[in-house]
A = this chain, B = another copy of it.
Amino acid sequence: MNTTIYDQYQENKRFVSVDCVIFGYEQEQLKVLVFQRDIEPSKGEWSLLGGWVHVNESTEDAARRVLNKLTGLEDVYLEQVHTFSQPDRDPGGSVITVEYYALIKIDDKASNLIEDYGAKWFSLEELPKLIFDHDVLVKKALEKLRLRSSYEIIGRKLLPEKFTLTRLRNLYNQIFQREFDPGNFRKKILSLKVLERLEEKDMSESKKGAFYFKFKPKNEAEFTDPIVKRSI
């Protein structure tokens, strides 16, 4: 199966897995999708979505493969977070894991597939204790998501096609766990010129109604200045 010139080093070969912190946004809350583990050790406990990295497959491909099997989605937003390799991190054996976070829209038709796997969305506050070092992985993923969110408006992959600025602001409130000033947030976001206002209004949240916005096509306006100045 492996016919490489490194075959003399076979004794150094390692188990490599990927773990995915799957973020979604629902009911004004940032949520993480976790699973009841179906193999030993720790069978039945909550864990992140994971899987083995096959030979002749990149870790990102592996992450996409396990995500696709779970959700049926093809074009998930993925970002590599960190690689964990403490030999004792998994009591079942020495496993190196490469961590990714994924952003998905909860309203996607994925939901039925997800339920088949006994998976469940939890808000950050309600997240149960996870196996191994997965709690640390969630924390790391959130930090990386914050960093990313301060360099670009992240909502494109988490929000539905059209959304109000209040909803986008609330997403940012959730990600950074702090309250952004409504007026200032609005001005900042609009100054970036990545959103386009629609004529339609959302009348469900207020009497006056709030205009829907949508993202302009990706290439039109890019920027590199931080949206959120303060470091994480």
The residues of A with any CB-CB pair to B shorter than 8 Å are 1-2, 4-7, 9, 11-16, 40-41, 52-60, 80, 82-83, 85-87, 92-96, 98, 151, 224-226, 229-232
Cβ contact within 8 Å between B80 and A98: no
Bound-complex Cα distance A225 to B226 (A): 13
Bound-complex Cα distance A41 to B86 (A): 30
Cβ contact within 8 Å between A13 and B11: no
Indicate how many identical chains form the complex.
Answer: 2
Residue among A6, A53, A94 facing the most chain B CB atoms (10 A cut-off): A6
Report B-chain residues with C-beta under 8 Å of the C-beta of A53: 12, 14, 85, 96
Bound-complex Cα distance A54 to B11 (A): 8
> Residue on B with the closest CB to A13?
B13
> Residue on B with the closest CB to A147?
B147
Report B-chain residues with C-beta under 8 Å of the C-beta of A41: 5
A225's partner among B15, B56, B59, B230 (CB-CB below 8 A) is B230
Of all A-B residue pairs in the complex, the 8 with the closest CB atoms, nearest first, are A4-B93, A13-B13, A58-B85, A59-B85, A12-B52, A56-B87, A6-B93, A83-B83
Beyond A4-B15, A55-B94, 7 additional pairs, beta carbon < 8 A? A6-B92, A7-B93, A9-B52, A12-B52, A12-B53, A14-B14, A226-B229
Bound-complex Cα distance A231 to B57 (A): 32
Known: A11-B55, A98-B83, A98-B85. A92 touches B16 (CB 8 A): no
Cβ contact within 8 Å between B94 and A4: yes
Known: A2-B93, A6-B92, A16-B14. A83 touches B59 (CB 8 A): yes
Known: A83-B80, A85-B98, A231-B226. A1 touches B11 (CB 8 A): yes
Report B-chain residues with C-beta under 8 Å of the C-beta of A60: 85
Bound-complex Cα distance A58 to B80 (A): 18
Bound-complex Cα distance A209 to B7 (A): 60
Cβ contact within 8 Å between A54 and B93: no
Cβ contact within 8 Å between A56 and B94: yes
